[in-house]
Structure 1
């Protein structure tokens, strides 16, 4: 018979429970939108979040992600010179104003993509890394699949209108989160308000960088078909939120509607860190091993998104097998952790071994097996 050991306790025991009422999220004048907590991953607000829509220049977030990833892998460096083809130079729409036949440092092209939303810079980067923009688009799709952006398909590196060049607010929030988390060293590029190249100084089109000091990225987009779009991230105290708003009516509207979403999130929710990666949540007895004890915890940091001001206790339920047997390898799943509050499950995570427990020698296993037999018999 398989027995389970259950440990149940509470954390952040508090004063008497105070009722917290969270109002309905605002309705935005936009085709689709989503708001999520960057640390816990919890979706706070969503509307048509899985509707496939043209992303316009929000596409360039994937273009810049791949270029920065190549930088961090060491395949290129900031001063790597990227040649400017005639195709890149002739590309219409928003421009960095690079010159055909020149070579431009990669870091300048990244600023041209992120700050100036340059189509010319995006094509140049795509051609440099993949040989052609079409080939680079296929690479973008591979990254999208890896990230779980299941409703996304890229045709180009710029967001230029094209058949079947589509994504969703949810997928763009996923991409935004990867930019924030995977490349923190280069994330500051998304907060730069101006970039000057060839004596042409252009402002970042993200108006929230001027209006809201908590906003530090990410990217705007606009075409006639897509409307005005914005992916934004902001941080206050210990809470970082990501908002994606698609299909608004004007440049002003995309800023206003996105700010509504962020304001709602910060006003009524907060992020709380519950455990760090590697924290020992329980020490369990191990049978048939050289060591009799196993420390158990979780693999990654655990955050929760809770209504702001909520003071109730968090119930912690740790479930493991009652008789753990060696050998056990570090990282092996040995149980589960369930966090709940007032009967509502807030999070569930696998519990892993934080240390190795080697199998005992012959006589140790023999004597241990006898003791284990009787322990199970009388359990």
Structure 2
């Protein structure tokens, strides 16, 4: 054929009762991002792509790169790392290290995750930096972030200390949290630890600052942050039943407001949305027209079990479009992606899911090609009724 057309097929999924939309979350945060990891649904996005001072929340990037280094053998958890004068010079949140210390990688990880140690972050950074310096590691952080899809993140240091150009967006922090949970399930329980008393130094500085960990709402991570420029923020995650959410907030006025807003947000995300199973893997959703094949159509199926997150008060009919460029030219292989299922539900962003061929479709033989050529000629030379001469 000389041109392709976009076809759309309307598909409906029925969940039960009709109703009104779930109430949107009116957050006091200056920027926020809430993501249901289980279904891949963004529940809330407010200034989510704005590059902002991330404070200590950017330590998650240092932790991610340290986990990668352990996974590929560049770091060993019981290795002892020296503390430079530069690392020891940092104030703020700290493990209270000095230049006489040699600290295990495992203790440094806990020092960053639980105690938010600026000094511990810098010790790890200098160990992994290509030139042994924190600025060298910050450049690595920026490059690695881009590779992970974090397009609004640039780093000037390893710990979030206020610096010109040190920025992350809330969406980028959400991407990073998702990767930490998915890529490093063995290490992730470190984020749920509520205390770490390193060497019994400064007993008053042994508690995790995450206000949600002891509330019994499924919270198990990840990192708080605060500077004067950033305000109070939190990258959090919680799991209830078979659902996990990730959220990022920043710009709040006090620790108390951060704690209250975080708990409200977790409760809203779990209570106002329900996961609904739509189709099992292999279920035929629609059909696509085939060009020059031994069959005139092919079934379109979902490759994996399909579930949707639906506002609990809007569980009636959900309409979706199957969109593809077609007719699809043969040969076609089973499992080949041919189309997208585009689901639009009021109150949630558009969701696009791949649809694949249900079975192989071989290229047609001589008779198929002859019939197709005849159809093309007929379409080209025979006038349509509306094009017929007047009075004909």
Bucket of the pairwise TM-score, normalised by the shorter protein: 0.7 to 0.9
Offset at residue 93 of structure 1 (A):
1.9
Alignment of 1:49-128 (within 5 A): 49-128=48-127
Classify 1:350/1:27 alpha carbon distance in 2 versus 1 (closer, same or farther; 3 Å).
closer
* Structure 1 alignment gaps of length 5 or more: none
Q: Which residue of 2 aligns with 1:207?
A: 211
Q: Which residue of 2 aligns with 1:195?
A: 196
Q: Which residue of 2 aligns with 1:152?
A: 153
Is the 8 Å Cα contact of residues 36 and 242 (structure 1) preserved in structure 2?
Answer: yes
Classify 1:33/1:324 alpha carbon distance in 2 versus 1 (closer, same or farther; 3 Å).
closer
Task: Say what the alpha-carbon RMSD is for the aligned residues.
Answer: 3.5
Q: Which residue of 1 aligns with 2:20?
A: 20
Classify 1:43/1:349 alpha carbon distance in 2 versus 1 (closer, same or farther; 3 Å).
closer
Offset at residue 182 of structure 1 (A):
2.7
Alignment of 1:1-379 (within 5 A): 1=1, 2=4, 9-11=11-13, 13-15=14-16, 17-28=17-28, 30-130=29-129, 131-200=132-201, 202-274=206-278, 296-298=300-302, 302-319=306-323, 324-328=328-332, 332-340=336-344, 346-353=350-357, 365-366=365-366, 369-370=369-370
Larger Rg: 2
Offset at residue 334 of structure 1 (A):
1.7
Classify 1:276/1:120 alpha carbon distance in 2 versus 1 (closer, same or farther; 3 Å).
farther
Q: Which residue of 1 aligns with 2:390?
A: none
Aligned counterparts of 2:134 and 2:338: Cα–Cα separation in 1: 47
Offset at residue 326 of structure 1 (A):
4.1
Count of aligned positions: 371
Is the 8 Å Cα contact of residues 238 and 271 (structure 1) preserved in structure 2?
Answer: no
Is the 8 Å Cα contact of residues 290 and 326 (structure 2) preserved in structure 1?
Answer: no
Normalised to the residue count of structure 2, the TM-score between the two structures is: 0.79
Aligned counterparts of 2:213 and 2:106: Cα–Cα separation in 1: 21
Please, which moves more after superposition, 132-141 or 272-281?
Answer: 272-281
Is the 8 Å Cα contact of residues 26 and 260 (structure 1) preserved in structure 2?
Answer: no
Aligned counterparts of 2:15 and 2:378: Cα–Cα separation in 1: 39
Is the 8 Å Cα contact of residues 313 and 341 (structure 1) preserved in structure 2?
Answer: no
Classify 1:24/1:285 alpha carbon distance in 2 versus 1 (closer, same or farther; 3 Å).
closer
Classify 1:160/1:340 alpha carbon distance in 2 versus 1 (closer, same or farther; 3 Å).
closer
Offset at residue 85 of structure 1 (A):
2.4
Is the 8 Å Cα contact of residues 11 and 285 (structure 2) preserved in structure 1?
Answer: no
Aligned counterparts of 1:377 and 1:345: Cα–Cα separation in 2: 44
Classify 1:96/1:376 alpha carbon distance in 2 versus 1 (closer, same or farther; 3 Å).
farther
Classify 1:179/1:273 alpha carbon distance in 2 versus 1 (closer, same or farther; 3 Å).
farther
Normalised to the residue count of structure 1, the TM-score between the two structures is: 0.81
Aligned counterparts of 1:14 and 1:332: Cα–Cα separation in 2: 29
Is the 8 Å Cα contact of residues 35 and 262 (structure 1) preserved in structure 2?
Answer: no
Classify 1:354/1:81 alpha carbon distance in 2 versus 1 (closer, same or farther; 3 Å).
farther
* Structure 2 alignment gaps of length 5 or more: 380-392
